[in-house]
Amino acid sequence: MLKKTRFSLIRDAAWERISKGIGDNLLEPDYLKEKRLQLDIQDWVITIDSYTSAGTLHTRFRAPLFNNERHSIKIFPKGKSINVMKFFGMQDIIVGHKELDDKYIIQGNNKKLLEGMFGSSSLRELLMEQDDILIQVKDDESWFKETIKEPVDELYVEVPYLIRNPEQLQAVFTIFAEILSYLCDNASAYFDAE
């Protein structure tokens, strides 16, 4: 079995490599539209790219996540159709931070894990600054099959626009990194990787 390094141990190095990999290129209007930035650091593969859906560009961040506990997480902003969605049975976890609970639908199969994750005031503040973001732990879709031979889920973060601002890129990466670090630090697959 592959030794799994906790993301918190390499997160600063990851951002340094990302910012150097993009550098001033982010100021080019279509930089992420035409390129995929893939960062291999220790046993991590972090991908930043974009795709088009319904004529809209989206920027996404992806990383493999060994998820032995089968944690399910989906976080997205509340919209106008929230009451209809709840009428049809959509569940929403209340994590105990009113501003976050009022702005986002938070779904998952482990309330305690989510409450702990949102115990981070810096994560809450960054999320409150976002107009629209999707955060999800996705089941294995073989996205990382070329680099990781084991079945692996992924942490997936998406914004419905092409990021062209370095500060925005860093803010979304920081959200991604904080969640990935928290999930790794609370998953049995990473306990032996010191």
CA separation for the pair 179, 160 (Å, rounded): 19
Q: In degrees rounded to 5, what are phi and psi of residue 114?
A: -65, -40
Question: Could you give the dihedral angle defined by the CA atoms of residues 160, 166, 167 and 173, in that order, rounded to the nearest 10 degrees?
Answer: 60
pLDDT in tens, 47-103: 888 888 888 888 899 988 888 888 899 999 987 666 666 655 567 889 999 999 999
Contact 163, 32 (CB under 8 A): yes
For the cut 70, the answer to whether the pLDDT of residue 124 exceeds it is yes
Report which of 103, 111, 98 is spatially closest to residue 82, judged by C-alpha positions. 103
Query: What pTM did the predictor assign?
Result: 0.80
For the cut 60, the answer to whether the pLDDT of residue 188 exceeds it is yes
Instruction: Return mean pLDDT, the chain.
Output: 79
